[in-house]
């Protein structure tokens, strides 16, 4: 019986390691999906890379990979800030790997680099860079800082004349339930393709030259494919919208679409029909406000009228009370005057024991008013009698 060759497990593992490293010495860019992702306390990241069968999505290949902490500290924030997504399970990634074999842990891949553009797509990567640039330049919030007019009855619209979205916008405004009249001026521009941004900007410049004739600018485009709507992520178009002298309202695409033009506009609505609702609602809000103020004024006037009616109804009573008070005051004054007159009456003097001499009906005040032999009447409190002057004596002489 021939002697069999025996080797240890470690020797076999070493042979496998050398074979793997010899046959796969280079680094490879590998497309895969992330399965379970674990971050070790030491900072290393362990990932299950998987590939699925396109027919039934069943896992057809699986291999563990590792990103050492020295690389993970740089790759994770780079990936997440570029893609706007967390580094987690379920991502489609493109990574640069080196095949490694450990006698303890077996076959694995060491990841040294990652391409975020593969995960988000090249167009999305450009979009993210544009957003970042606009943020750094302070363009976000610039147009939205403009005050909306209370009643924007004159609007400029940039759209394609044949666009279904434009027809919906006009129909919705002209047929609004309130009967509001809004003047719409169309500025035609291509709304998709490479020429769209420059075409829209050119029309915006025309509107800006006539800005005193308009209250708002609408940029409208109905739904379309992702590729059709890429033009609304253009940097130059975004800059013009952000710095436009009138509030810009965008109604681009369907509910799931949100473009850079929407981000820098004053207000973004989902569709052209929603844009029509937006402006009609502005008028409706003011009508409601006027109706509310009208009701308040009406209530205030009714309350004032009621108060005045009550005052008028009470006025006769107030006049009567005032007249009574006035009469009492005057009666009191007459009483005082009567008392003073009575107290000053000559009769009162007579009652105190005095008498009054009258000659020819006039009171004799001095001896110079009489002569010897004159007749006079002497009045007393209880009567009078006639007298004749026999002689006169001057009381000022001794």
Q: Model's pTM, two decimal places?
A: 0.55
Where does the chain have alpha helices with state H? Answer: 9-23, 69-83, 116-120, 122-136, 164-174, 196-209, 235-242, 260-264, 272-343, 346-351
Q: How many residues does this entry show for the chain?
A: 398
Per-residue confidence at 5, pLDDT binned at 50, 70, 90?
confident
Amino acid 127: pLDDT: 86
Across 175-187, average pLDDT? 88
Across 347-374, average pLDDT? 79
Give the pLDDT confidence of 309-324 residue by residue, as tens digits. 887 777 777 888 888 8
Among 14-23, 135-144, 199-208, 386-395, where is mean pLDDT lowest?
A: 386-395
Mean pLDDT, the chain, rounded, equals 87
**Contact (Cβ atoms closer than 8 angstroms) between residue 178 and residue 286:** no
Letter string b/e over residues 349-384, b meaning 16 or more CB atoms within 10 A of that residue's CB: ebeeeeeebebeeeebeeeeebeeeeebeebeeeee
More reliable by pLDDT, 75 or 175: 75
**Contact (Cβ atoms closer than 8 angstroms) between residue 132 and residue 125:** no
Amino acid 203: pLDDT: 96
Amino acid 46: pLDDT: 96
Q: Which fold has domain 9-120?
A: OB fold (Dihydrolipoamide Acetyltransferase, E2P) (2.40.50)
Q: Which among 88, 81, 93 has a CA at the least distance from the CA of 125?
A: 81
Instruction: Inform me whether the pLDDT recorded for 83 exceeds 60.
Output: yes
Per-residue confidence at 396, pLDDT binned at 50, 70, 90?
low
Across 278-302, average pLDDT? 82
Amino acid 256: pLDDT: 60
Range among 170-184, 188-202, 278-292, 346-360 rated most confident: 188-202
Q: What percent of the chain shows pLDDT beyond 90?
A: 39
Q: Give the C-alpha separation, 294 to 262, whole Å.
A: 37
Domain positions in the chain are 9-120, 127-147+160-284, 348-388
Tokens (6 digits) for 362? 């006039």
Amino acid 236: pLDDT: 96
Across 32-42, average pLDDT? 94
Q: Give the C-alpha separation, 120 to 141, whole Å.
A: 26
- What is the CB-side half-sphere exposure of residue 185 using CA atoms within 13 A? 16
Among 181-190, 194-203, 239-248, 349-358, where is mean pLDDT lowest?
A: 349-358
Q: Give the C-alpha separation, 365 to 371, whole Å.
A: 13
Classified as helix, coil or strand, 95 is: strand
Among 106-110, 118-122, 138-142, 258-262, where is mean pLDDT lowest?
A: 118-122
Among 8-17, 63-72, 137-146, where is mean pLDDT lowest?
A: 8-17
């Amino acid at each position: 019986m021939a002697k069999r060759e025996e080797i240890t497990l470690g020797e076999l593992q070493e042979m496998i390691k050398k074979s793997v490293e010899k046959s796969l010495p280079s680094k490879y860019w590998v497309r895969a999906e992330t399965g379970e992702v674990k971050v070790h306390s030491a900072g290393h990241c362990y990932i299950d890379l998987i590939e699925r069968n396109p027919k039934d999505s069943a896992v057809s290949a699986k291999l563990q990979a590792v990103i050492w902490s020295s690389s993970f500290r740089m790759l994770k924030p780079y990936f997440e800030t570029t893609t706007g997504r967390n580094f987690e399970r379920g991502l489609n990634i493109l990574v640069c790997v080196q095949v490694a074999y450990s006698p303890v842990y077996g076959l694995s891949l060491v990841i040294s680099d990652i391409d975020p553009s593969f995960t988000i797509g090249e167009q999305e990567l450009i979009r993210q860079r544009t957003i970042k640039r606009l943020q750094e330049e302070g363009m976000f919030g610039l147009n939205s800082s403009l005050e909306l007019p209370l009643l924007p009855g004159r609007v400029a619209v940039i759209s394609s004349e044949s666009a279904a979205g434009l027809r919906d916008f006009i129909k919705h405004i002209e047929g609004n339930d309130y009967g509001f009249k809004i003047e719409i001026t169309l500025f035609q521009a291509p709304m998709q393709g490479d020429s769209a941004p420059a075409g829209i900007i050119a029309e915006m410049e025309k509107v800006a030259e006539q800005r005193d004739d308009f209250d708002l600018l609408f940029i409208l485009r109905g739904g379309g494919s992702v590729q059709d709507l890429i033009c609304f992520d253009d940097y130059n178009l975004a800059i013009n919208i952000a710095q436009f002298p009138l509030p810009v309202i965008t109604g681009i695409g369907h509910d799931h679409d949100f473009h850079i033009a929407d981000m820098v506009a004053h207000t973004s609505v989902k569709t052209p029909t929603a844009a029509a609702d937006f402006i009609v609602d502005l008028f409706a809000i003011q009508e409601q406000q006027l109706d509310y103020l009208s009701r308040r004024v009406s209530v205030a006037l009714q309350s004032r009228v009621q108060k005045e009616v009550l005052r008028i109804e009470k006025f006769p009573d107030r006049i009567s009370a005032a007249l009574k008070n006035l009469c009492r005051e005057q009666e009191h004054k007459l009483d005082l005057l009567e008392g003073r007159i009575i107290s000053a009456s000559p009769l009162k003097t007579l009652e105190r024991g005095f008498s009054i001499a009258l000659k020819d009906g006039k009171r004799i005040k001095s001896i110079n008013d009489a002569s010897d032999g004159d007749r006079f009447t002497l009045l007393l409190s209880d009567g009078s009698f006639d007298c004749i002057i026999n002689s006169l004596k001057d009381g000022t002489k001794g």
